[in-house]
């Protein structure tokens, strides 16, 4: 499967020059470098926040896409519906730790439409007064090699309607940690200096239920051409099977930078953990 990093997908199609999240400012001791560029150059580490494991366990929050708006963190996530289909749910938070579920906000398409089986794996961005959510959709069965990219739009984060567009993808590698897929990525573009940054998931070759999954970083100067970080994966690979994937970059109110990602837990449920960028 070559899912595509939904990241630039929407931006290239829409010409989106900026997303709603605030630019991340330098917060490290070396004031001349911003946090992600400092990390990129071999400094600091993302450290798992063990005090805040398993966020959203009650409603299965995972593969999140986030955006801050008026002091609220809108967190979109995959909903595994009782009928086996996949939709997009929303949870809200004011501190990035405690989340309140708001239910399904983007459902699958009507019977016979290209996304009538799956409309999920969300990513949210804003251009002007309109919110755009990219998602992976597929018809008639959960065939991961046949996923496509859709867009839902609206002026209200709680009310987004399906829309269709064509977007490019980031290719998989030949034989590295992401040779099997490059898929769901961070929902917004983090701007630091001359670079835009994203987090994205990757896996080794199929079958995906036994492949090794992880999270990496990529950056670009023009939103068109992306370079994958030589330190990838930044969240270590699983031994076998899906986890440590579905990442999003989140800046919490204390100006700390995190990568949130899907993680296993003792009850074998989908939950979210995070790794925090620590700069010496």
Q: Is the pLDDT of residue 184 over 70?
A: no
CB contact at 8 A, 124 and 67: yes
User: Does residue 56 sit within a domain?
Assistant: yes
- 170 compared with 206, residue with greater pLDDT: 206
**Is 9 exposed, middle or buried, given 0-12, 13-18 or 19+ CB atoms closer than 10 A?**
buried
Question: Binning pLDDT at 50, 70 and 90, where does residue 265 land?
Answer: confident
- Residue predicted with more confidence, 120 or 163: 120
pLDDT tens sequence across 115-135: 788 788 887 776 668 787 767
pLDDT of residue 218: 81
Instruction: Quote the pLDDT of residue 239.
Output: 93
For residue 154, being part of any structural domain is answered with yes
The answer to whether residue 267 sits within a structural domain is yes
Residue 276's pLDDT is what?
Answer: 97
Span 82-114, pLDDT tens digits: 998 999 999 999 999 999 999 999 898 888 777
Cβ 113 vs Cβ 139: under 8 Å? yes
Q: Is residue 1 part of a domain?
A: no
Least confident of 15-19, 36-40, 270-274: 15-19
* pLDDT band (50, 70, 90) for residue 148: low
Q: Say what the pLDDT of residue 110 is.
A: 83
* CATH number of the domain to which 57 belongs: 2.115.10.20
Task: Select from 122, 119, 118 the least CA-distant residue to 76.
Answer: 122
Beta strands at 195-203 and 213-220: parallel, antiparallel or unpaired: antiparallel
| Per-residue pLDDT at 25 exceeds 50 | no
Q: Which comes out higher in pLDDT, residue 18 or 252?
A: 252
If we measure between CA atoms, which residue out of 74, 95, 61, 96 comes closest to residue 20? 74
Q: Identify whether the C-beta of residue 150 lies closer than 8 Å to the C-beta of residue 198.
A: no
Note the pLDDT of residue 80: 92
pLDDT band at 33 (very low <50, low <70, confident <90, very high): low
169 vs 129: which has the higher pLDDT: 129
Please give the residue range of the domain that contains residue 64: 6-278
Q: What is the pLDDT of residue 206?
A: 74
Listed ranges 68-72, 112-116, 117-121, 202-206; the one with the highest mean pLDDT: 68-72
Q: Is residue 99 part of a domain?
A: yes
pTM of the complete model: 0.57
Residue 269 belongs to some domain of the structure:
yes
Residue 179 located in a structural domain:
yes
- 190 occurs within a structural domain: yes
**Do 218 and 154 touch, CB atoms closer than 8 A?**
no
- pLDDT > 90 in the chain, percent: 30
- pLDDT at res. 49: 92
Place of tokens 């150059």: 41
Distance of CA 61 to the CA centre of its chain: 13
Number of structural domains in the chain: 1
Helices then strands, each counted (H, E), the chain: 2, 17
Contacts of residue 247, defined as CB under 8 A and 6 or more positions apart, other chains included, come to 184, 185, 186, 199, 200, 201, 215, 235, 259, 260, 261
Predicted pLDDT at 191: 75
């Amino acid at each position: 499967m070559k899912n595509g990093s939904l990241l630039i997908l929407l931006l290239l199609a829409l010409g989106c020059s900026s997303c709603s999240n605030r630019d991340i400012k330098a917060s490290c001791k070396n004031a001349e470098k911003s946090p992600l560029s400092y990390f990129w150059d071999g400094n600091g580490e993302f450290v798992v926040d063990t005090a805040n494991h398993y966020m959203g366990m009650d409603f299965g929050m995972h593969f999140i896409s986030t955006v801050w708006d008026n002091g609220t963190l809108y967190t979109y996530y995959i909903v595994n519906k009782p009928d086996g289909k996949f939709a997009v749910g929303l949870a809200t938070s004011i501190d990035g730790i405690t989340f309140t579920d708001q239910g399904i906000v983007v459902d699958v398409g009507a019977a016979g439409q290209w996304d009538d089986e799956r409309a999920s794996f969300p990513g949210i961005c804003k251009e002007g007064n309109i919110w755009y959510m990219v998602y992976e959709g597929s018809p008639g069965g959960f065939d991961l090699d046949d996923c496509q990219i859709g867009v839902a739009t609206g002026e209200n984060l709680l009310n987004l309607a399906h829309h269709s567009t064509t977007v490019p993808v980031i290719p998989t590698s030949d034989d590295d940690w992401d040779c099997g897929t490059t898929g769901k990525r961070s929902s917004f573009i983090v701007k630091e200096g001359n670079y835009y940054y994203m987090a994205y998931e990757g896996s080794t070759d199929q079958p995906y239920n036994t492949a090794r999954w992880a999270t990496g970083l990529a950056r670009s100067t023009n939103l068109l051409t992306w370079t994958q970080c030589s330190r990838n994966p930044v969240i270590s690979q699983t031994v076998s099977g899906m986890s440590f994937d579905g990442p999003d970059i989140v800046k919490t109110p204390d100006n700390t930078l995190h990568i949130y990602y899907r993680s296993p837990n003792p009850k074998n449920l989908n939950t979210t953990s995070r790794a925090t960028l620590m700069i010496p």
